[in-house]
Chains A and B, each alone.
Chain A
Amino acid sequence: MKADAHIVPVKVYLGTFIGLVVLLVATTGIAYLNLGIWNTVIALVIAITKALLVILFFMHAYYDKGLTRVVFSVGIIWLTILIVLSSADVFTRSWTPVPRSWAPDIALHQNQK
């Protein structure tokens, strides 16, 4: 058991905690500045940083090698596929012209809106 155990120093936990609180204050404060699209970008970057702090130190992913990292990375990859491919479908629909023979369907669709 000893070989596998990661007893993380209290200092690391405290540092992680303080980092999380600082980032929480930062993201809340920045929301009150009007930065346009950057509001969203910065909020997401801070959220990802906070999540990484929790995963790496609180959840010990920084100390766990091998399988834990594989599983964790696979989760991120699958989530990325889910979001990116679904968005790619919806947001590129208008890029290509619809064949004429489909036109009645389109009219139907627009009526429903």
Chain B
Amino acid sequence: MSEAAVKQAGRPILEEHFADLPAQESARKLGMWVFLVTEVLFFGGLFTSYTIYRQLYFAGFEQGSHLIEVKWGAINTLVLIVSSFTVAMAVRTAQVGKRGRATVSLLLVTGLLGALFLFIKLYFEWFHDFKEGLFPGVNWDYHGPFAAHVQLFFIFYYFMTGLHAIHVIVGMGVMFALAYLAWRGRFSPRYYSPLEVGALYWHFVDIIWIFLFPLLYLIGGRS
């Protein structure tokens, strides 16, 4: 049977505009990589302005960094690292053609870890910071040294973690959609490129946080 005729979960696995599966797979992966590069530059604008203002107002940024808790940043980094591992394993289970629910449950775990990340971010950090009066323009209660520059740090803090959180939400949607497709039996060792592409996106979200953690939580020494 030719590849064009193979169907999984009622849909052909090869789109008609591709010659064969390897061509389709590499085109999809390339597309995702190109998209991720545009995402790097999307975040790049924030990272660049962060770099410049941190250099100009280092004392204020250091002070601001000491007002947020390293503990939650580190725990959230761990949550995302574990989720990157589970999504990598989810792709692998489909590649080796594991029977049963392995792929589905690994994808669900990944999505739920994303939810845990957001819960920690929202409940233990953003709400907490807001109540502490660390929300520029709306509820600002810090009047110590470098108050204006500390405000600027918090503007960066909310925008960078907020933009990242939006990506986590999108990634969760991707994971749950993939889990549904996997549950429908859409993937096999012959066809798993949606899983691979979705996993690439999730890893990217992890990488952004890997940089945000030291840049926002670990400025200057803590001792």
Contact = CB atoms under 8 A, between A and B. Distances in A.
A1 B22 contact: yes
Contacts, number: 141
Interface stretch (B116-124, B165-173, B210-218): B210-218
Contact of B30 (A34, A68, A90): A68
Interface stretch (B48-56, B138-146, B178-186): B48-56
A7 B206 CA distance: 21
B151 interface: no
Contacts of B78: 21, 24
Interface size class of A (residues with CB under 8 A): 35 or more
A33 B223 contact: yes
A79 B113 CA distance: 29
Interface size class of B (residues with CB under 8 A): 35 or more
Interface of A: 1, 3-5, 7-8, 10, 13-14, 16-17, 20-21, 24, 27-28, 31-36, 39-40, 43-44, 46-47, 50-51, 54-55, 58-59, 64, 67-68, 71-72, 74-76, 78-79, 82-83, 86-87, 90-91
Q: Which 4 pairs show the lowest CB-CB distances between chains A and B?
A: A34-B221, A75-B37, A43-B214, A31-B218
